[in-house]
Structure 1
């Protein structure tokens, strides 16, 4: 989508840029904000589905992964790495 106010080169460099028009509450105009950064909250949390326990070989996979795990650091870091 093209916009006469925004150069195409800008959109090519920052494709995730977004513009928001704020409400006009105390001002005589509507302020416009430009956001160019993407919020990154890190890795998605681990999810476990009960249906996985019904899969053939599930228990063996758990046993094998527990044997292979090498932990380090404080107990809370060890537990987080293990999970």
Structure 2
């Protein structure tokens, strides 16, 4: 697995060089790719609010994504991930790009943009979905011992014969 954390340059010519370098890396290193972070670029006009969309820069960025065979997870939470210093402009410049093998291996993955508290960027959380950690642990509170008949009920359950690996499943 190849994981790249991006903080792309602010100058568009340097970003274009970065896309070329990433494309070269994607073509030369085999693996499952995840490129996540601040790309300092938008893909479509809807990724900006109250700021100018540059079609040419977006075209280069989208061409890189297509040529590298990358896909983007839809973002949950916030629509925009960056707030300008004066608080007047919003952009979606932070994202997660993955190869198709990543999406196939983790189809229930989601990307969420959280609230901005410290930075002018929203933190991103890439979550691969629900995990099954086995049965929920049985909890016993000491106060239950005071319930009349509780000790006897537990002993009956523990003495039951069965094929269960977990004795608490026999306590029914």
TM-score normalised by structure 2 residue count: 0.25
TM-score normalised by structure 1 residue count: 0.45
Compare relative contact order (CA 8 Å, sep 6+) and give the higher one, 1 or 2. Answer: 2
